[in-house]
Structure 1
Amino acid sequence: MPIDGAPEDTICAIATPMGEGGIGIIRISGQNATAIASKLVRLRTNGSLDTHPTHTLHLADIVSAPHPESAGDSWPPTAREHIIDEGLVVYMKGPHSFTGEDVVEFHCHGSSTVLRRVCESCVAVGARLAQPGEFTKRAFLNGRLDLSQAEAVLDTIKAKSDFALTIAQRQLRGDLGRYVQDLRTALLSLTARVEAGIDFSDEDISFVTRGELRTALQNIARQIREILDTAQTGRALREGIRVVLAGPPNVGKSSLLNSLIHDDRAIVTDVPGTTRDLIEEAVMWNGLSITLVDTAGLRDTVDVVEQEGIKRSKTAQAEADLTLYVIDAVSVQKSGVSDFPFPLVDPKQLIVLNKIDVLAPCTLQPLSEELAHRLCQRILPISTRTGEGLDELKTTITSRFLTGSFEAYEGVVITNVRHRAALEQATTAIMDALSSIESGGQAELLAVDLHDAADALGGIIGTLTSDDVLEQIFSQFCIGK
């Protein structure tokens, strides 16, 4: 089956996940969508598909493409055709469709064999297989979506939490696109006034003063900073976070994992070095998707298997969004805070003091305070045996990535690394423009900075985006979307 072709080709693909299911959908889009679909459907109401009302489901038999030996006969070859399935067919006339083109969908039974045969028949009568993300790419190219909305389609599909879904839906509705477009329009308006002043410089006409420019650019920069401040939380909500449990052997890392997920996922023994490989489990706290990773205890060892586990533990810590470094309260008390081997200070690390149930209550508070003073950071006392401190630990973890109440938050949230980079690029250009204003720089250079800022924002919504960027974005989609 061919997959390469021109944008004007009519494309088809299975639009639902592979496997068994109640319903499976094959989507066709392009200028010949109805002609191709008409060769494969027999409407129970008779008549041709394009004569029926658009956006209406019709009961139909879906038949296979003709055999090659019947190619010279009149179409349809009713004596030779074979019914693949009974299903529903809907015709959506462009531009009132997802892609902006004529679209036909077959709603079949969700058998992988049925879907494969229908898709093969579509190709046999003139369609080609869609490339990854090609339906959404056509929606963007045909003006149905801006680029930020197209990316929100993928975010909606991959949403791991209610918060992630809410943000993706806001961007799909165009909240981010409108916000960015308003900022870009303001920049272009300022640019036009600056360039008009350049064109009429001989006539001593001022279309905008430097004071007006400064105020306007400072306001735009402030608005960009406001949404940039949401980037860390937005990424955490979109992708989830990885929290690694690290520390010496036998401090209770595996017990902590089991306690946090409420399951005996990791083996717990008194034998040091029990955990040799990474153990991962996903949880959902306060709408935030979190992957907890238990790791091998950090120590010097001659065991080659344990050495590999420790190597993987260090790699996991380097890649983590947050590390819970677990230490044994009893061991710290025995050795003394001044002699205990603590980890290096790391902003991505929380110190968890486990086994506090063994200590006398009068001992815990001064020990925690001494540790906090020694390490210059907060100490989180817990007991995996009694559960004490676990709720506070969960709250501390989520508060590192969730600021404020996102459930009630209605503003624009940045979740995409590409969007963040573009906004930072725009900010840099605006700062350069402000510096030029303060230093009395030439208007021509100021106009260049304003153009750069507007172009950076245009990259978010696709006004100015290279083919390479588009290819990278849509290649992340599945074929049916």
Structure 2
Amino acid sequence: MFISDRDTIAAISTAVVNSGISIIRISGEDAFPIADKVFKGKQSVMDMTSHTVNYGKFISMDGEVIDEILLLKLDGPKTYTRENTVEINCHGGVNVTNNVFHEIVKAGARIAEPGEFTKRAFLNGRIDLSQAEAVMDLINAQTDTASKIAIAHLQGKFSSAVKEVTNRIVDVSAEIEYHIEFNDDDMDGPTMGRLVASLTECSNRLKKILDTYDTGKIHREGINVVIAGRPNTGKSSLMNEVLGSDRAIVTDIPGTTRDIIQDYANINGIFVNISDSAGIRETGDVIEKIGIGKSYEAAKNADLILYMLDLQSDLNSEDIKFLEMFKDKNILIILNKTDLVSQEQTKQKVSAIRCETRHDPVTLSLKSGQGIEGLYERFKQMLHPGQADPKNQAIVTNVRHKNSVQTAYQAVNEAIRGFKEETPVDLITIDLNIAVHQLGLITGETASDDIIDRIFSSFCVGK
């Protein structure tokens, strides 16, 4: 089927579950005539005042009453998509929601593609591409800070910073082009000095933006934490403690956990993807071996490894092998079961672990709860992503933006080097054009249709 940006589209914008209310959105040139076919109230949809809510009955194309609804009429361009828009609030049952939606499609609307409403907001100039991406960031945000960063992006904080740098680069490039066109002489020293100063300011701004990426990425995507160690050291108990629920099965039988168990937690305002892994040991059990292999694979992709040890046992060859294999990773060694040994034995074991591994372990008892607060304090220290101030700084949160800023930064620095090495100015403009193009990819001004389609394909239907 041919899909056109001029089609009138419709989608269920709320989750299709039994709930109080469902919202179905219609957008496009024929939104009002389509809604008029299925709505019966005191006045027709065509005669309603814009931005008003109207009560009435939803009628099927066969004349049957399907539901009682509230209909919101919104005249473009003062809408999310800048098109004529109708939002129907019906009862939230799965069956009634689907019935209402199917009748809207029968009345002439096309089922919207994922992210198509936001894509139209972008194509119609209401928001730029980075603002569009912020819509999904806000929907997916798991912490207050992540929400604040997404809101700042949605309001154009990041875009404005990018556009300010872009405009300065364009101004330099335009001056060079003017010189090439109307002057036969070489560019004089004061002019070159002024242009280099302007590009240096651009470089500094891009570097400042680029330096926010590690912080922004953590707040947007979270931190991957893997709990590893030998069987019966308390890995699953730690998982349950962090989650505040019995997510993992806990027994005294070695090898109980055979596959990766994943869940999510908010620890001190940081979104954490936490995984419990199979106990690491030599085994002849084929299934357990597969689970142990997955443990090593999960550790490779972890931002932080929590390595569990039993205070009653010494380091063995499996522990040493694991810690050596991941020596370049961020590792926190946890000595569990302080309730089963004396304080003196605990001190001796801590000293021995420090000497053998060069790690500073924490001690606790997951059974009694002793030392749990100390663990969370170390969590806070190790997971802290840096200060994020979305109101006062442009923060890079995704790798697409980071790559474009980095390439633009490198291109600007190449242009500066070109000036200092007296490279022909027409060659310098090539680097400046690269920088402008890369920054335009962020806001969408230079993004290809393939890039745009790929971004919006990751959106949920109805947004």
TM-score of the superposition, structure 2-length normalised?
0.91
Give the Cα separation in 2 of the matches to 1:177 and 1:418.
Answer: 14
Matched, 1:51 2:47: yes
Aligned-partner residue type, residue 122 of structure 1? I
Instruction: Check if 1:434 corresponds to 2:416.
Output: yes
Equivalent AA in structure 2 for residue 215 of structure 1: A
Give the alignment partner of residue 35 of structure 1, picking from 27, 33, 36: 33
In the alignment, is the contact (CA less than 8 A) between 1:193 and 1:208 conserved in 2?
Answer: no
1:64 aligns with 2:60: yes
Q: Does structure 2 retain, via aligned residues, the 8 Å contact 1:196–1:207?
A: no
In the TM superposition, residue 386 of structure 1 has moved relative to its aligned partner by 4.0
User: Structure 1 stretches of 5 or more lacking a match?
Assistant: 67-80
Does residue 84 of structure 1 match 2:80? Answer: no
Give distance in 2, aligned partners of 1:401 and 1:186: 37
Q: What does 1:96-175 align with in structure 2 at a 5 Å threshold?
A: 96-175=78-157
The equivalent position to 1:22 in structure 2, one of 20, 23, 33, is: 20
Residues 409 and 254 (structure 1), Cα distance of their counterparts in 2 relative to 1, 3 Å cut: farther
Per the alignment, residue 261 of structure 1 pairs with 243
Q: CA deviation at 1:319?
A: 2.3
2:302 counterpart of 1:320: yes
User: What code does the residue aligned with 1:325 have?
Assistant: Y
* Residue 223 of structure 1, CA deviation: 1.9
SS at the partner of 2:312? helix
Q: 1:264 to 1:82 in 2, by over 3 A?
A: closer
Tell me how many residue pairs correspond in the alignment.
Answer: 460
Report the residue type matching 1:171 in the other structure: H
For structure 1, which segment, 157-166 or 92-101, has the greater mean C-alpha deviation from structure 2 after superposition? 157-166
Q: Deviations over 1:113-153 (max 9, x none)?
A: 22222222222232211111111100000001111111111
Whether 1:282 and 2:230 are equivalent positions in the alignment is: no
CA distance in 2, matches of 1:196, 1:396: 59
Q: In structure 1, give the amino acid aligned to 2:219.
A: L
Shift of 1:316: 1.5
Give the match for residue 70 of structure 1: none
Q: Is the 8 A contact 1:327 1:354 kept in 2?
A: yes
Q: Does 1:305 align with 2:305?
A: no
Aligned residues of 1:194 and 1:207 also touching (Cα < 8 A): no
Partner Cα separation in structure 1 for residue 423 and residue 448 of structure 2? 31
Q: Which amino acid aligns with 1:472?
A: R
Please say if residues 215 and 386 of structure 2, whose CA atoms lie closer than 8 Å, have aligned partners that are also in contact: no
Cα distance in 2 between the residues matched to 1:379 and 1:126:
65
* TM-superposition CA deviations, 1:383-427 (whole Å, max 9, x none): 324434433332333444434444786422222121111111111
Q: Structure 1 residues 125, 360: CA separation in 2 closer, same or farther (over 3 Å shift)?
A: closer
**Shift in Å at residue 263 of structure 1?**
3.6
Residue 8 of structure 1 is matched in structure 2 by 6
Distance 1:364 1:209, change over 3 A: farther
In the TM superposition, residue 204 of structure 1 has moved relative to its aligned partner by 5.1
Does the CA-based 8 Å contact 1:197-1:206 persist in structure 2?
no
Aligned equivalents of 2:412 and 2:352: distance in 1?
Answer: 47
In structure 1, C-alpha distance between the alignment counterparts of 2:355 and 2:182, rounded to whole Å: 66
**Distance in 1 between residues matched to 2:348 and 2:193, nearest whole Å:** 58
Structure 1 residues 159-200: Cα deviation after superposition (integer angstroms, max 9, x where no partner): 212221111111111111111111111111111112222223
Q: Is the deviation greater in 409-418 or in 386-395?
A: 386-395
The CA distance in 2 between the partners of 1:278 and 1:88, in whole Å, is 46
Amino acid of the structure 1 residue aligned with 2:139: I
| 1:206, distance to aligned residue in structure 2 (A) | 4.7
Instruction: Say yes or no: does 1:236 pair with 2:232.
Output: no
Question: Percent of counterpart pairs with the same letter?
Answer: 39
Match of 1:202 among 165, 168, 184: 184
SS of match in other structure, 1:25: strand
Moved more, 354-363 or 342-351: 354-363
Q: For structure 2, which runs of at least 5 residues remain unmatched after alignment?
A: none
Measured in 2, the distance between the counterparts of 1:123 and 1:340 equals 63
Q: For residue 365 of structure 2, what is the aligned residue in structure 1?
A: 383
Return the alpha-carbon distance in structure 2 between the equivalents of residues 311 and 204 of structure 1: 65
Contact 1:276/1:310 (CA < 8 Å) preserved in 2?
A: yes
The secondary structure found in structure 1 opposite 2:323 is: coil
CA deviations 1:270-316 (Å, max 9, x no partner) are: 43323222223322112222232111111111111211110121121
Residue aligned with 1:311, SS: helix
Secondary structure of the corresponding residue to residue 119 of structure 1: helix
CA contact (8 A) 1:156 1:168 kept: yes
Output aligned runs, 1:264-413, within 5 Å: 264-332=246-314, 343-344=323-324, 345-362=327-344, 364-365=346-347, 367-369=349-351, 371-406=353-388, 410-413=392-395
- Checking the alignment, whether the CA contact within 8 Å between 2:148 and 2:390 is kept in structure 1 is no
Q: Indicate the SS of the match to 1:331.
A: coil
TM-score w.r.t. structure 1 length? 0.88
SS class of match (1:233): helix
CA distance in 2, matches of 1:208, 1:90: 61
The answer to whether the Cα contact below 8 Å between 1:19 and 1:110 also exists between their aligned partners in 2 is yes
Distance change in 2, residues 1:342/1:26 (3 Å): closer
Name the residue aligned to 1:450: 432
Once the 2 structures are TM-superposed, how far is the Cα of residue 230 of structure 1 from its aligned partner?
2.1
Displacement, 1:56? 0.6
CA distance in 2, matches of 1:397, 1:13: 42
- Once the two structures are TM-superposed, the CA of residue 365 in structure 1 deviates from its matched residue by 4.7
Seen in structure 2, the aligned counterparts of structure 1 residues 449 and 330 have a Cα distance that, compared at 3 Å, is same
Contact 1:194/1:208, CA 8 A, preserved across alignment: no
Structure 2: how far apart are the matches of 1:176 and 1:288?
Answer: 22
